[in-house]
Amino acid sequence: MLAARVRHRSTEVAGVRVFYREAGPDDSPLTLVLLHGFPGSSQMFRHVIEPLADLGVRVVAPDMPGFGLSSLPEPRGPYTFAWIADVVEEWLSGLGVTDKILYLHDYGSAVGYQLATRSPSTVRGLVVQNGNAHEEGLGKQWDASRDYWSDPTEENRRRIEPWLHYEGTKHQYLWALPERLAELVPPETWELDWRAISRGDGLDAHWELFTDYRTHVARFPEIARYHREAEPPTLIVWGVHDPYYDLDEVLAYHRVLPTAESHLLDAGHYLLETHSREFVSHARPFIARLIEQQGRS
């Protein structure tokens, strides 16, 4: 019975202290890897790890370097999504993880698709929760960011700078949410996130990482090829009140992955804060099928 309880662990990887949550059997042939977005951490999965691990699958959720309780190396080198993927890849190798299901959310998509395209045969499925991989999802709200990526001047930076302050961190959780949903989001989410990303030179590091998001956007054609060639079984669970990624993103996934299963929820970008039970109800049968398929292979 204790196998499905969450264990809280940390390890050293490539000069980084990586904190992670884990549940389920260590010897499971399939591992669900939960990759959070900005400005979050593995805490966003606190309500879903045990219900998913109850299926008999190993579940691991890292705080990516520079987030949550994980550190950045000292001295700090370039802070990019490819580097974060290097750290996560080495961490997974140390845990003995091979075949896996990737949960992709926000920044976690940029990291997860690095892992998937590097080793497509080890990815047995994708769970996409408000994670972007197509131009269709980047609406007009990204125009100022695109200007900054192409010309990172102080003037262009000032146009988008408010998102990387305390109020901007809080705004990440509440923007565009109806009041009936906003009052369900616990305030410790943004309080803990802000404490984590603002420590030391964290804000400078996160500007650097945000600037590097342009490399993820540039990889969209490569990701589309991965989808077409690998055809990973895919579950999409999407909060329709997401102010960051347009709903057209879901349609874009279906165009390249026509067998994908999708569910639209009356939720926001961080839907696990308000709709974790609904998410689990969709994720459990999907993951159970992948476990069964893995057992037959």
pLDDT in tens, the chain (297 residues): 456 899 999 999 999 999 999 999 999 999 999 999 999 999 999 999 999 999 999 999 999 999 999 999 988 899 999 999 999 999 999 999 999 999 999 999 999 999 999 999 999 999 999 999 999 999 999 999 999 999 989 999 999 878 899 999 999 999 999 999 999 999 999 999 999 999 999 999 999 999 999 999 999 999 999 999 999 999 999 999 999 999 999 999 999 999 999 999 999 999 999 999 999 999 999 999 999 888 776
Q: Which fold has domain 2-296?
A: Rossmann fold (3.40.50)
User: pLDDT value at position 109?
Assistant: 98
Half-sphere exposure of 119 (CA within 13 A, CB side): 17
User: pLDDT value at position 75?
Assistant: 86
Structure-block tokens of residue 277: 């039970």
User: pLDDT value at position 135?
Assistant: 97
Go through the chain and tell me how many residues it has.
297
Within the chain, strands assigned E span 7-13, 16-23, 31-35, 58-62, 100-104, 123-128, 234-239, 261-265
User: pLDDT value at position 3?
Assistant: 62
Structure-block tokens of residue 91: 């961490």
Structure-block tokens of residue 281: 């109800």
Q: Show me where the domains of the chain are located.
A: 2-296
Structure-block tokens of residue 257: 């992955």
User: pLDDT value at position 51?
Assistant: 97
Closest of 157, 231, 212, 265 to residue 38, by C-alpha: 212
Q: Is 80 helix (H, G, I), strand (E, B) or coil?
A: coil
Q: Phi and psi dihedrals of 163, rounded to 5?
A: -70, -20
Strands 123-128 and 234-239: parallel
- The predicted model scores a pTM of 0.97
96/59 Cα distance (integer angstroms): 13
Q: Give the single-character DSSP code of 241.
A: T
Q: Which of 134, 206, 241, 269 is catalytic?
A: 269
Contact of 202 with 226, CB cutoff 8 Å: no
Contact of 247 with 238, CB cutoff 8 Å: yes
Task: Tell me whether residue 269 is one of the annotated catalytic residues.
Answer: yes
User: pLDDT value at position 163?
Assistant: 86
